[in-house]
Structure 1
């Protein structure tokens, strides 16, 4: 797909928004090629990752200093066009990297994490497309119908987050896996899981993963599994054999960076 967003846009209007932010409203000439292996609609933040990288490239063309703050803010403009009222989590994580804590109304906080060098993250794409807006609407409506029980579940979710923070700081991978399992069960109870997500999570756990849960909005998309590195290949192979696309991830990696090719 080729599109000249300086004249009009049909597909990449979101990236035009990012470029307008970078260029302060007056677009300068540039040719940007997007080559991404992140599946679209799988709950992996593909739109934010592309917007961050494209914004960084566009800033380079304009001779600007590429900072995580600049490209994250630019990508957020793109995300607003894609998702309406995004939290800003995807573009912030893509730009800054590492481990970040987000609480609505409080912003983002970098987390210092203990050693997790013996584990890796597998990303399991179910191949089931889903709508973030639909998943959020379902979650919100069910929460409202549950009344006081819904509020109890929200408090439980907050407790899981707090315990996960403590666990990350200690570098306790086994405990983190257990918390992932609990968090997934809670999301399933709220109706945002899917039969293929349940199958992926079950297979990952049965194959030796320390824990697994859906990621993103749910109702399809992807799951993540925390796996000891020595078992990762076997777990991934079991999942692939049953039809899932599996990607090997990493924990706490660097955010946006610029490499100048000679």
Structure 2
């Protein structure tokens, strides 16, 4: 048996921005994966990246892969060991910088492959902490959502201060999710500030909107338990409308949403910070190719994926 592991990307389906202010957020694992292949090495801890086309010996120094070194060290120290030599080769389907949890999925797969080379079978708690250490190098103060979704897969419910909860759901095999890159760069900081200023200015109404956003998530949980993709799509439309009203959409995101709905999508919304970045579109199999083609004809890069896929997988 080899030391090949993979972990999925994630999307925020509902609750972005609201979660910063105490609201619920629902995230899902999607069918784009990072893969890590581990093998023994006579000397050095080498990491090779398909994306960056570079290799780096982390026992000598780190520049590109300092996050992975942090994760490897946590695994080793958890077993009272020093770092051991290995070769870790990384490949990924996940777009970088799109808010899809690329760094967390990559770190989790790499950490699992590295542990495998060392003859270890760490539990989920160690793997979670190792991936979280890697995420802290990249993001400073991560929420833990990305590495939680990458580890467990499926759907994850989150509220600040209350931790994470895995969500039971019925598979929707006749449904796909389109990830649509708007091509517009965005600043998470600016988007969060804009949303926060408007929410505070609205006062009591803002608090009611927060309650409404929580209600959307609760309705989505019920829809997932029934496998009701039509209801889920309707809720996506409503959630997007709220985010647009709060000032974090963008004309290009609105175009994506409008095209998707026109071509028969079940629902569409921005995901993540907004003001650019990525949109998600829920489609049934009957309309998937039509919606995807219409978006691609407008020049958008579109990824068609399954929703609620398994988390960390391996070794193979």
Q: Which residue of the partner structure matches residue 121 of structure 2?
A: 65
Query: How far apart, CA to CA, are the structure 2 residues paired with 1:30 and 1:134?
Result: 41
Query: How far apart, CA to CA, are the structure 2 residues paired with 1:46 and 1:116?
Result: 24
In the alignment, structure 1 residue 5 sits paired with structure 2 residue 58: yes
Range that drifts further, 80-89 or 223-232: 80-89
TM-score (norm. length: structure 1): 0.92
| Per-residue deviation, residues 21-63 of structure 1 (Å, max 9, x unmatched) | 1111832222212211211111111111111111111111221
CA contact (8 A) 1:116 1:171 kept: yes
Query: Larger helix proportion, structure 1 or 2?
Result: 1
Q: Which residue of the partner structure matches residue 17 of structure 2?
A: none
Higher relative contact order (CA 8 A, sep 6+): 2
Query: How far apart, CA to CA, are the structure 2 residues paired with 1:98 and 1:26?
Result: 34
Q: CA deviation at 1:163?
A: 1.0
Q: 1:204 aligns with which of 240, 243, 260?
A: 260
In the alignment, structure 1 residue 103 sits paired with structure 2 residue 159: yes
TM-score (norm. length: structure 2): 0.77
In the alignment, structure 1 residue 78 sits paired with structure 2 residue 134: yes
CA contact (8 A) 1:68 1:256 kept: no
Q: CA deviation at 1:115?
A: 4.2
Q: Which residue of the partner structure matches residue 114 of structure 1?
A: 170
Query: How far apart, CA to CA, are the structure 1 residues paired with 2:122 and 2:260?
Result: 39
Q: Which residue of the partner structure matches residue 11 of structure 2?
A: none
Query: How far apart, CA to CA, are the structure 2 residues paired with 1:161 and 1:199?
Result: 24
Q: Which residue of the partner structure matches residue 22 of structure 1?
A: 75
- For this pair of structures, how many residues does the alignment match? 260
Q: 2:210 aligns with which of 135, 143, 154?
A: 154
Structure 1 residue runs of 5 or longer lacking an equivalent are none
Q: 1:247 aligns with which of 281, 285, 303?
A: 303
Describe the SS at the equivalent of 2:178. Answer: strand
Query: How far apart, CA to CA, are the structure 1 residues paired with 2:187 and 2:254?
Result: 18
Q: Which residue of the partner structure matches residue 89 of structure 1?
A: 145
State the Cα RMSD in Å: 1.7
- 1:159–1:4 Cα change, 3 Å: same
Structure 2 residue runs of 5 or longer lacking an equivalent are 1-53
Describe the SS at the equivalent of 1:123. Answer: strand
